[in-house]
A and B are shown apart, each in its own frame.
Chain A
Amino acid sequence: MKRLINRYPDRTLKLMLGALPFIIIFIAYIMASNARLEENSRDKLLPSLSSMTKAVDKLAMQPSKRSGEYLFWSDTESSLTRLGLGIGISALIGLIFGIVNGAIPYVRANLSPFITAISLVPPLAVLPILFIAFGLGELSKVVLIAIGITPFIIRDMQRNVMELPSEQMIKAQTLGASTWLIIVRVVLPQVLPRLIGALRLSLGAAWLFLIAAEAIASTDGLGYRIFLVRRYLAMDIILPYVVWITFLSFFIDYVLKTLSERLFPWFHAEDK
Chain B
Amino acid sequence: MKNLYKKILVLLVLPMCVLITQPVMAKDSFKVAWTIYVGWMPWDYANNAGIVRKWADKYDINIEVTQINDYVESINQYTSGGFDACVMTNMDALTIPAASGVDSTALIVGDFSNGNDAVILKNKKSLKDIEGQNVNLVELSVSHYLLARGLESVGLAEKDIKVVNTSDADMVAVYGTKDVSAVTTWNPLVSEIMNMPGSNKVFDSSQIPGEIIDLMVVNTETLKKNPKLGKALTGAWYEIMAVMSGKDKKAKDAKIAMGKASGTDLKGYNAQLASTKMFYKAADAVAFTKSKELKSTMAKVAKFSFDHGILGDGAPDAGFIGIETPAGIYGDMKNVKLRFNPSFMQMAADGKL
Residues of A whose CB lies within 8 Å of any CB of B are: 20, 24, 27-28, 31-32, 35-36, 39-46, 51, 54-55, 58, 65, 127-128, 131-132, 135-137, 215-219, 224, 227-228, 230-233, 236
Contact of B176 among A131, A137, A227, A231 (CB under 8 A): A131
Task: Closest A residue to B169 by CB, please name it.
Answer: A216
A137 partner residues in chain B, CB cutoff 8 A: 179
B139 contacts A by Cβ under 8 Å: yes
Asked if A43 and B165 make an inter-chain contact with CB atoms under 8 angstroms apart, the answer reads no
B100 contacts A by Cβ under 8 Å: yes
Asked if A28 and B16 make an inter-chain contact with CB atoms under 8 angstroms apart, the answer reads yes
A54 partner residues in chain B, CB cutoff 8 A: 313
Task: Give the interface segment out of B17-25, B189-197, B247-255.
Answer: B17-25
Asked if A128 and B170 make an inter-chain contact with CB atoms under 8 angstroms apart, the answer reads yes
Contact of B101 among A32, A41, A131, A230 (CB under 8 A): A41
B178 contacts A by Cβ under 8 Å: yes
Contact of B17 among A31, A42, A132, A231 (CB under 8 A): A31
Binary interface encoding of chain B residues 1-34 relative to chain A, with 1 for a CB under 8 A from any of its CBs, else 0? 0000100010011001100110100000000000
Asked if B13 and A28 make an inter-chain contact with CB atoms under 8 angstroms apart, the answer reads yes
B243 contacts A by Cβ under 8 Å: no
Task: Closest A residue to B81 by CB, please name it.
Answer: A45
A135 partner residues in chain B, CB cutoff 8 A: 177-179
A32 partner residues in chain B, CB cutoff 8 A: 16-17, 20-21
The distance from the CB of A65 to the nearest CB of chain B, in whole angstroms, is: 8
Q: How many residues of B contact A (CB 8 A)?
A: 43
B163 contacts A by Cβ under 8 Å: yes
Q: From residue 155 to 187 of chain B, which have CB atoms closer than 8 A to chain A?
A: 162-167, 170, 173-174, 176-180
Contact of A31 among B13, B166, B170 (CB under 8 A): B13
Asked if A230 and B72 make an inter-chain contact with CB atoms under 8 angstroms apart, the answer reads yes
Asked if A35 and B17 make an inter-chain contact with CB atoms under 8 angstroms apart, the answer reads yes
CA distance A31 to B178 in the complex (A): 51
B312 contacts A by Cβ under 8 Å: yes
Once A28-B16, A128-B173, A131-B174 are accepted as A-B contacts, the answer to whether A218 and B21 lie under 8 Å apart by CB is: no
A55 partner residues in chain B, CB cutoff 8 A: 313
Task: Closest A residue to B180 by CB, please name it.
Answer: A136
B79 contacts A by Cβ under 8 Å: yes
Task: Closest A residue to B314 by CB, please name it.
Answer: A42
Asked if A43 and B136 make an inter-chain contact with CB atoms under 8 angstroms apart, the answer reads no
Once A36-B21, A40-B101, A43-B101 are accepted as A-B contacts, the answer to whether A232 and B96 lie under 8 Å apart by CB is: yes
Task: Closest B residue to A135 by CB, please name it.
Answer: B179
Asked if A233 and B165 make an inter-chain contact with CB atoms under 8 angstroms apart, the answer reads no
CA distance A57 to B270 in the complex (A): 50
B136 partner residues in chain A, CB cutoff 8 A: 136, 217
Interchain residue pairs with CB less than 8 A apart (16): A35-B21, A40-B100, A46-B20, A58-B313, A127-B170, A128-B170, A132-B177, A216-B170, A216-B174, A219-B162, A219-B165, A228-B140, A232-B95, A232-B140, A233-B79, A233-B100
Asked if A217 and B23 make an inter-chain contact with CB atoms under 8 angstroms apart, the answer reads no
Once A39-B23, A216-B167, A218-B165 are accepted as A-B contacts, the answer to whether A231 and B79 lie under 8 Å apart by CB is: no
Asked if A136 and B79 make an inter-chain contact with CB atoms under 8 angstroms apart, the answer reads no
A43 partner residues in chain B, CB cutoff 8 A: 80, 100-101
Task: Closest A residue to B337 by CB, please name it.
Answer: A42
Contact of A218 among B138, B164, B312 (CB under 8 A): B164
The distance from the CB of B162 to the nearest CB of chain A, in whole angstroms, is: 7
Task: Closest B residue to A31 by CB, please name it.
Answer: B17
CA distance A113 to B167 in the complex (A): 34
- 6 more A-B contacts (CB under 8 A) besides A232-B312, A233-B79? A28-B20, A31-B17, A128-B173, A228-B140, A230-B72, A231-B310
Chain A to chain B: the 8 pairs with minimum beta-carbon distance, closest first = A42-B101, A128-B173, A35-B21, A32-B20, A217-B166, A45-B80, A44-B100, A136-B179
Q: From residue 294 to 309 of chain B, which have CB atoms closer than 8 A to chain A?
A: 309
Once A58-B313, A131-B176 are accepted as A-B contacts, the answer to whether A217 and B170 lie under 8 Å apart by CB is: yes
CA distance A170 to B79 in the complex (A): 68
Asked if A136 and B174 make an inter-chain contact with CB atoms under 8 angstroms apart, the answer reads yes
CA distance A132 to B173 in the complex (A): 8
B275 contacts A by Cβ under 8 Å: no
A236 partner residues in chain B, CB cutoff 8 A: 313
The distance from the CB of B86 to the nearest CB of chain A, in whole angstroms, is: 13
Asked if B101 and A136 make an inter-chain contact with CB atoms under 8 angstroms apart, the answer reads no
B138 partner residues in chain A, CB cutoff 8 A: 231
The distance from the CB of A61 to the nearest CB of chain B, in whole angstroms, is: 14
Task: Closest A residue to B102 by CB, please name it.
Answer: A40
Asked if A227 and B177 make an inter-chain contact with CB atoms under 8 angstroms apart, the answer reads no
Contact of B9 among A27, A36, A65 (CB under 8 A): A27
Asked if B79 and A45 make an inter-chain contact with CB atoms under 8 angstroms apart, the answer reads yes
The distance from the CB of B206 to the nearest CB of chain A, in whole angstroms, is: 25
B245 contacts A by Cβ under 8 Å: no
CA distance A43 to B138 in the complex (A): 24
CA distance A216 to B178 in the complex (A): 16
Binary interface encoding of chain B residues 123-147 relative to chain A, with 1 for a CB under 8 A from any of its CBs, else 0? 0000000000000101111000000
